């Protein structure tokens, strides 16, 4: 039977329950903070719910069935949504007050080391690379629990990768805007290498996609398209991230100069600008 975009939506418990729990906890905490007079900014809430929508789209729409059973390039679309776009939206939607009850748990507090840029970046890279090894990739497609674990790891490592860039929790002092630019460049370099492996491959790597052409797409062409999907998504996100960081770098440079002209201590100025506390320093 030819694959169809009208494939029914699915709601497997291993896929939908974690999303529903995260949504319920966020909604409850946001309401609690609003009642205390500390509302979460509307734009952050919008980003969080956009992330929820992206997760549902990736896991429960026809994208899941088409990618699992028919097309590598659609499965790659699912992976870039789960491993990059959705985590980015989630992290943007979080704030310190939102996370405070979770961070109060000793085990979670100890895991904050995972958001360190020198830890988060290698974890993300290893996770992305390992799950695309043919043996593990095929295992995920043949076993529901392994597939759910794969998706969870993509999302978690994607969130950790973005965490030091967006700094919902403070990153190290040395990890300023200039270092963030380099960090994003390394992330996309790794993704570019992996994407090019798929784009220029001349044989299908994964057993489930070695079948007769569907929609006029051969298995090798399907794999090439998967690399294009990875590269295109990565390029668009990178352009947005670099533009934001360049604008921020320019604003920080101007603010730093203004504070130094007021005769303030250069070390205090550097730290205040780095952690967005210049207003307090200027009024001190």
Q: Give pLDDT tens digits for 99-109.
A: 999 888 888 88
Q: What is the mean pLDDT of residues 31-46?
A: 94
Q: What secondary structure does DSSP assign to 182-219, as a single string?
A: HHHHHHHHHHHHHHHHHHT-SS---GGG-SS-BTTB-H
Query: What integer pLDDT is reported at residue 249 of this predicted model?
Result: 84
Answer with the residue of higher pLDDT: 9 or 42.
42
Answer with the residue of higher pLDDT: 265 or 250.
250
Asked if the model's pLDDT at residue 283 lies above 60, the reply is: no
Query: What integer pLDDT is reported at residue 284 of this predicted model?
Result: 46
The region that residue 37 occupies, defined by phi over 0 for left and psi between -120 and 50 for alpha, beta otherwise, is left
Q: What is the mean pLDDT of residues 221-230?
A: 94
Q: Rg of the chain's alpha carbons, rounded to an integer?
A: 21
Distances (CA, A) of 267 to 262, 270, 271, 272, 280: 14, 5, 6, 9, 15
Can you tell me the distance from the alpha carbon of 234 to that of 228, in angstroms, rounded to the nearest whole number?
Answer: 10
Q: For residue 169, what pLDDT band results from cuts at 50, 70 and 90? A: confident
Can you tell me the distance from the alpha carbon of 231 to that of 188, in angstroms, rounded to the nearest whole number?
Answer: 9
For residues 209 and 219, the answer to whether their CB atoms sit within 8 Å is: yes
The predicted model scores a pTM of 0.88
Asked if the model's pLDDT at residue 3 lies above 70, the reply is: no
Q: For residue 272, what pLDDT band results from cuts at 50, 70 and 90? A: low
What the block records as the tokens of 55 is 């997760």
Percentage above 70 pLDDT, the chain:
90
Q: What is the mean pLDDT of residues 32-60?
A: 94
Q: For residue 182, what pLDDT band results from cuts at 50, 70 and 90? A: very high
Can you tell me the distance from the alpha carbon of 245 to that of 162, in angstroms, rounded to the nearest whole number?
Answer: 13
Q: What is the mean pLDDT of residues 246-255?
A: 83
pLDDT tens digits for range 112-156: 899 999 999 999 999 999 999 999 999 988 888 898 899 999 999
Q: For residue 90, which of 13, 39, 19, 38 has the smallest C-alpha distance?
A: 19
- What is the sign of the dihedral through the CA atoms of 95, 29, 93 and 39? negative
What the block records as the tokens of 147 is 């597939």
Kindly report which listed range (19-28, 133-142, 245-254) carries the lowest average pLDDT score: 245-254
User: Residue 35 — φ and ψ, nearest 5°?
Assistant: -65, -25
Average pLDDT of the chain is: 87
Q: What is the mean pLDDT of residues 22-29?
A: 94
């Amino acid at each position: 039977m030819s694959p169809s975009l009208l494939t029914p939506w699915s709601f497997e418990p291993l896929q939908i329950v974690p999303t529903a729990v995260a949504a319920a906890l966020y909604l409850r905490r946001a309401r609690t903070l609003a009642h205390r007079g500390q509302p979460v900014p509307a734009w952050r809430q919008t980003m969080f719910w956009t992330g929820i929508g992206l997760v549902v789209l990736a896991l429960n729409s026809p994208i899941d069935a088409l990618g699992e059973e028919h097309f590598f390039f659609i499965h790659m679309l699912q992976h870039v949504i789960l491993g990059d776009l959705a985590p980015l939206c989630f992290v943007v939607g979080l704030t310190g007050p939102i996370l405070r009850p979770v961070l109060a748990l000793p085990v979670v507090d100890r895991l904050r080391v995972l958001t360190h840029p020198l830890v988060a970046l290698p974890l993300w890279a290893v996770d992305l690379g390992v799950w695309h090894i043919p043996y593990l990739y095929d295992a995920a497609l043949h076993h529901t629990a392994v597939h759910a674990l794969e998706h969870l790891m993509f999302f978690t490592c994607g969130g950790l990768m973005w965490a030091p860039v967006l700094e919902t929790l403070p990153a190290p002092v040395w990890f300023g805007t200039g270092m963030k630019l380099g960090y994003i460049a390394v992330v996309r370099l790794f993704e570019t290498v992996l994407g090019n492996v798929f784009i220029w491959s001349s044989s299908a790597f994964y057993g489930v996609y070695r079948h007769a052409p569907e929609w006029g797409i051969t298995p090798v062409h399907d794999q090439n398209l998967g690399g294009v999907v990875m590269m295109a998504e990565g390029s668009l996100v990178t352009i947005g991230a670099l533009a934001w960081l360049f604008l921020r770098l320019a604003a920080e440079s101007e603010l730093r100069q203004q504070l130094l002209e007021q005769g303030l201590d250069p070390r205090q100025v550097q730290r205040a600008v780095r952690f967005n506390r210049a207003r307090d320093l200027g009024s001190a």
